[in-house]
A and B are shown apart, each in its own frame.
Chain A
Amino acid sequence: GENVEQHPSTLSVQEGDSAVIKCTYSDSASNYFPWYKQELGKRPQLIIDIRSNVGEKKDQRIAVTLNKTAKHFSLHITETQPEDSAVYFCAAKGRFRNDYKLSFGAGTTVTVRA
């Protein structure tokens, strides 16, 4: 089945700096990679996703890159702001036995220092 590893587990950055979170996955057939943001006490919300036919996707200060050969994808947040402080989860859609499932990384707690 799909196994998603996420690094680092915690990340502290100065406001205005960039933050990068990396994930690796094991199932080479995985073709959908979303990123979710979960603020303290709130529900996860999708911030960006990428499909396997695309190498990079940007949405304002957020970008995701995908390297299918190396089986890893990364989230890049530029010009970080205090409201970017949250837990970020990567995920990959992969095969599990005869089904598909969305496997999540363990999460990265991002703290933006003012």
Chain B
Amino acid sequence: KAGVTQTPRYLIKTRGQQVTLSCSPISGHRSVSWYQQTPGQGLQFLFEYFSETQRNKGNFPGRFSGRQFSNSRSEMNVSTLELGDSALYLCASSLQGIVDEQYFGPGTRLTVT
């Protein structure tokens, strides 16, 4: 089975811009979760989508949003980028959701200048 893929792998944006990241889960997985990884804050849960519906949400501002398509592919959007949004954004797919093994993608490295 192909693993979780994320595009793009690297991205440089300017403050105030918006960005869309994409995640393709393992075939058959209906749950996609998004995480932000930074050296200071570690891994922080953004949200989880299951069957095209947001099922769980972490403690991030409304500038962070997402969606999931009928083929389980998911996108994450960050609007009005801030310097502090610079991070590695990881998505993970699983069969049942956050109580199941999370298979992580390689991540998208976002740099905001």
Instruction: Given A43-B104, A43-B106, A43-B107, verify A105-B56 contact (CB < 8 Å).
Output: no
Q: Does A55 contact B (CB under 8 A)?
A: no
For chain A, the count of residues having a C-beta within 8 Å of the partner chain is 23
Taken residue by residue from 34 to 67, chain A's Cβ proximity to chain B (1 for < 8 Å, 0 otherwise) reads as 1010000001111001000000000000000000
Residue of A nearest to B4 (CB): A43
Taken residue by residue from 34 to 56, chain B's Cβ proximity to chain A (1 for < 8 Å, 0 otherwise) reads as 01000001111100100000011
* Chain B residues closer than 8 Å to A103, beta-carbon distance: 45
Q: Does B59 contact A (CB under 8 A)?
A: yes
Please tell me which one of the listed residues B58, B101, B107 contacts residue A96 in the complex, with CB atoms under 8 A apart. Answer: B58
Is A93 within 8 A of B42, CB to CB?
Answer: no
Docked complex Cα distance between A89 and B57 (Å): 20
Instruction: Given A43-B90, A102-B98, verify A107-B42 contact (CB < 8 Å).
Output: yes
* Chain B residues closer than 8 Å to A99, beta-carbon distance: 55-57
Listed in ascending order, the chain B residues whose CB lies under 8 Å from chain A are: 33, 35, 41-45, 48, 55-59, 90, 98-99, 101-102, 104-107
Interchain residue pairs with CB less than 8 A apart (26): A31-B99, A32-B98, A34-B101, A34-B102, A43-B90, A44-B90, A45-B104, A49-B101, A89-B43, A93-B98, A93-B99, A96-B56, A96-B58, A96-B59, A99-B55, A99-B56, A99-B57, A100-B98, A101-B45, A101-B48, A101-B57, A101-B58, A102-B33, A104-B35, A104-B44, A107-B42
